[in-house]
A and B are shown apart, each in its own frame.
Chain A
Amino acid sequence: MRPDFSKRFDALFWRWAKRRTTPQKTVTLQHRAIYVLPSKAGLGFFAAVILLWLLGTNYENNLVLAASFFLVSLFIVAIIHGFRNLAGLQLTALASRPVFAGETLELPVLIKARAGSSVGRVSLAAEVGQSILTDIDKNAETQVVLRLASQNRGWHTPERVLVQSYYPLGLLRTWSWVRFDVRLLVYPRPLTIVQPPLLGRNDGEHAPALARGDDFDGFKRYQPGAPLAHIAWKLYARGAGLQLKQYVSSELDNLWLDFRAVSGDREARLSGLCYLALQWHQAGRTFGLRLLEQHIEPSSGQEHLHQVLRALALFELERAS
């Protein structure tokens, strides 16, 4: 089969098959959504069987005929086993970590076999060329992590996950398309920008500078998780161990990420803000977000960062959709 033909066939077939599935968090593969067709190797197998049958017929040799019938029977049994390998599989999409646009999204999927299903090799793929091969364990749950590329910020829904098996003999392709009711969050792609002068303290009237103007307050013993920028490397070099520089931040020190303060089109601005948010978070700064009407009060920490990035990711998208 030529690849573009098989691609077109695949697309046509998917349009039809799509109606037979509904998106769910946990999908159990049902017989109505499992498809079986001979693989290329299967077609070759059939050619071999026909040749063998011709040999047996021509020499009127029952044993050779029986051999060809045996292979046909194996093929039939392989259909059943291939089907049984997928039927009843329970796939659950687990929570996934948000990524930045352009990174690879990871979608963990939990696979549970049903009693009575064959346990063979199954491949899962959320995207072409990204298939993951795994054995289904009859007695335990199997977890695989699917990868898919993220193009744009916002919610990303994998259109379909291909669950495919050539079990047991490679002669048949047994497959099903699964639609998961999951949304994967993609943050904007962080793009380095020069900090604009108007971005910063309070209402953005003064030029801000990263970590400047904060009042140095002394040293503190290092705690795991503290931003690297706060480590007093000079002290460390002198052999004083890991110490953290402590700053006192005042109300005035609050930084603002302001959509209007950066230049460029919308996406460029969001990317820039994303970059700054990451920078400031790393520097342990307290900052807030102003996205036109949407405001997030200044704060710091992982949770806050996530909130900010999420707001950036979904800006002017949620309303539209």
Chain B
Amino acid sequence: MSASTEKLSRQGLIWMLLAQAIVLLPLVFEVPVWLTLLAIATGVWRWKIATAGWRFPGKLARLILVLLVCAGLLFSFSGSFGMQSMLSLLIAGFVLKLIELKRPGDFYLLCYLAYFVTGAQLLFAASLPSSVYGLVSLLAVTGVLLVNNGSVARLGVVKQCQRLGVFALQALPIMLVLFFVVPRIGSLWTIPLNKSAGQTGVSDSMAPGDFSNLMRSGELAFRVSFDGPIPAPQQLYWRALVFDDFDGRTWRQSHAQDVQRGRASAQWRNWQNAVELSGEPISYQVLLEPTAKQWLYALPTFSELPESVRVSPGLTLYETERVNQRKQYRVSSVLDYRLQPQGLDQPQTMQALALPEGYNPQTRRRAQQWRTEATDERQLMQRVLGYFNQRFRYTLQPSTLGEHTVDDFLWQSQAGFCEHFAGSFVFFMRAAGIPARVVVGYQGGQINSNDGYLVVRQYDAHAWAEVWLAGEGWVRVDPTAAVAPERIEQGVEYSLSDDDNQLLGNVFSRRFQMLGDLQLRWDALNYRWQLWVMGYDNAAQQALLQKWFGRVSPWMLALVVTAVVALVSLVVLLPLLRSSGRRLAPAERAYARVEKAMTRCGQPRYVGEPPRQYAARISRERPDLADDLNAITALFERASYGDSKTALARLQSAARRFKPSRL
């Protein structure tokens, strides 16, 4: 390529360094700190090579640098292989390549790496602003290519950006049609993202204190669009996991429930037989933020499920793979249901009554005592809930509990939040011989009044209890509701003291109405983006194409793409087709008139002869025309290059008056 012999332009280098900075900036938190420092160092180094006469690294220096970086990567990721380590490797190569940038031909590889890194950047952040940022990154990298190939002369930044903008605008329609019609093949192989996704979120165990951490986060958990009206808050129990195994301190899933450890056995194939539904199903769509976990959230109990989704024995939903990307799924639920009213089998009953030996002796005694005093299970439950209601306080700052957590909570501290209430209630029930278990998930959510969907955040995390009653099956009991009913009906922020509220995530937007409103609008925009752009999957594509074109065939799609490309080409080439020649400026038109007259009288201008030289030649050959032509030439030069209006007017009148005679 001819460019290889050229020198690297300063402007090209500046664009490259800027583009690299733009591309790498959002990834600063995804890669080790030393890599960021290395990127800055190589950038400065390359700049100093161009400006301060620093030298390119020699072979040995490069080798040492590469070995150091490899060692650093090995150390930082300790051999774990995932998207994040691959990305770091890629960035390391990208950054090191910069100090080998010598000729314009070297730009290409750097630019392609930058394109790929931009793609990775979009993988880690897919919100609306980060998408816009991704576009800016792509344009910046394209700008490097343009600056290095567009022109010999150095154009101003504005002019370059203008050119770039024109290209981008023309590329946009083609990109859109490709986006809409190119088939989605689906995942080919899996490389874990090992990203920090889902650091906050419901986890698969519940120890004292877990939930209070969760509730300090205002992060988005998921968003739900209901086809019909949104059900009352008391009905919005987003079920995720069932904990039926207690070791004295922590609630976990028993092996029968745990989908991650015993995936195949955990699937509940004929769950439909165990549920009795009554009432109309409500349909809704959930957009779940990446959790890095397998379970999904839904209202109990479901009547229709997406194909890929499985049901666990605890009547919860899960995916076969971890949810590493934002996931969209549609569920229909019937809120009025009975779960396993026919009865539990032996192992299930055993599990639902099991308690660890030697813990919470006081509670056990009291439970047995209350059991004998009560006429039936319902009455016992009412008594416990009533006890909660009278004595207990809802707070995010409970005092620390000792070895016998339930004893301490029930009979001493009497202050806590959902996990304490649910855990001790289930313990109490089991001790009294009633099958019970803890269910965790989210409760409630905030309605976005702008768009009519439900936003569920981490602080909506909740734990409640399920008790099995003969003839009724598993019945949901929420002990928290007995203590702080406003927690269930209005949301966690209404159930806490001011002091506690400070601990909740998202505290500012809760305090200031306008800020909260802005946040709602912003979230609505983001949600729509997620739903329509990120959620545009194979099914959505089929539906859309069918709506537009009826029957979808590959030929049809190829035709559509071709049509759009042709249309863009036409728009770009239109000025070329329209003009048969060069469009002349007014001054050139006037001068052309003079030229024509001169040609008629036998003194044409030679091809490529500059006007001034022409005038000089004519002055020698036809002295009679010298004055006129010299004056006209001077006016023409002033009008064309001096941008003078008066010169143009005088030139035009002089051209009209100019009537050379034939010799």
| Distance A63 CA – B109 CA, assembled complex (angstroms) | 22
Closest A residue to B532 by CB, please name it.
A62
- Min C-beta distance of A295 to chain B, whole Å: 32
Stretch at the interface among A114-122, A208-216, A223-231, A273-281: A114-122
Tell me if B116 counts as interface (CB < 8 A to partner A): yes
Chain B CB within 8 A of A105 CB: no
Cβ-defined contact, B533 with A62, below 8 A: yes
Judging by beta carbons under 8 Å apart, are B134 and A67 in contact? yes
* Chain A residues with CB below 8 A from B178, complex form: 69, 72-73
Partner of B122, one of A64, A78, A120: A64
Q: In chain A between 29 and 84, which residues have their CB closer than 8 angstroms to a CB of chain B? A: 39-41, 44-45, 47-49, 51-52, 54-74, 76-78, 80-81, 83-84
Whether the pair B150, A48 counts as a contact (CB closer than 8 A) is no
Per the bound structure, the CA–CA distance linking A130 and B170 in Å amounts to: 35
How many pairs of A and B residues are in contact by the CB < 8 Å rule? 197
Which of A48, A77, A113 has its CB near the most chain B CB atoms (within 10 A)? Answer: A77
Least distance between B560 CB and chain A CB atoms (Å): 14
Chain B residues whose C-beta falls within 8 Å of the C-beta of A66 in the assembled complex: 175, 179, 533
Number of interface residues of A (CB under 8 A): 69
Return the contact of B188 from the options A44, A54, A108, A115 (Cβ within 8 A): A54
Q: Which residues of B contact A47 (CB under 8 A)?
A: 112
In the complex, what residue of chain A is closest to B324 when comparing beta carbons?
Answer: A59
Q: Does B386 contact A (CB under 8 A)?
A: no
Pairwise interchain contact B572-A63, C-beta atoms closer than 8 A? no
Q: How many residues of B contact A (CB 8 A)?
A: 75
Please tell me if the beta carbons of B123 and A108 are within 8 angstroms of each other in the complex: no
Q: What residue of chain B has the Cβ atom nearest to residue A47's Cβ?
A: B112
Q: Which of A60, A108, A169 is B537 in contact with, Cβ under 8 Å?
A: A60
CB-CB contacts below 8 Å: B553-583 with A: 565, 568-569, 572-579, 581-583
Any chain B CB within 8 A of the CB of A4? Answer: no
Question: In the complex, what residues of A have CB within 8 A of residue B108's CB?
Answer: 41, 44-45, 170
Q: Within 8 Å of chain B (Cβ to Cβ): is A298? A: no
CA A166 – CA B146 in complex, angstroms? 10
**Given A55-B119, A94-B607, A114-B579, CB of A169 within 8 Å of CB of B572:** no
Q: Within 8 Å of chain B (Cβ to Cβ): is A102?
A: no
Decide yes or no: A114 and B576 within 8 Å by CB, A58-B188, A166-B3 being known contacts. yes
Given A74-B171, A94-B607, A135-B152: A62 and B536 interface contact (C-beta under 8 Å)? yes
B172→A73 contact, CB < 8 A:
yes
Q: Does B184 contact A (CB under 8 A)?
A: yes
CA separation between A139 and B581, bound complex, in Å?
12
User: Does residue B182 face the partner (Cβ distance < 8 Å to A)?
Assistant: yes
In the complex, chain A residues whose CB is within 8 Å of the CB of B536 = 62
**Of B116, B325, B577, which one neighbours A55 at CB under 8 angstroms?**
B116
List chain A residues, Cβ under 8 A from B577.
Answer: 116
Evaluate contact between B153 and A61: CB separation under 8 angstroms: no
Q: 8 A–B contact pairs at CB < 8 A?
A: A41-B108, A59-B187, A61-B126, A72-B175, A72-B178, A77-B174, A110-B607, A170-B3
Q: Which residues of A contact B (CB under 8 A)?
A: 26, 39-41, 44-45, 47-49, 51-52, 54-74, 76-78, 80-81, 83-84, 87-88, 92, 94, 108, 110, 112-117, 119-121, 123, 131, 133-135, 139, 141, 143, 164, 166-171
Closest 9 CB pairs of A and B: A116-B575, A73-B171, A73-B174, A48-B112, A170-B149, A115-B583, A69-B178, A63-B122, A169-B145
Interface of B toward A, CB cutoff 8 Å: 1-3, 6, 105, 108-109, 112-113, 115-116, 118-120, 122-123, 126, 131, 134-135, 138, 142, 145-146, 148-153, 163, 167-168, 170-175, 178-179, 182, 184-191, 193, 324-325, 533-537, 565, 568-569, 572-579, 581-583, 585, 607-608
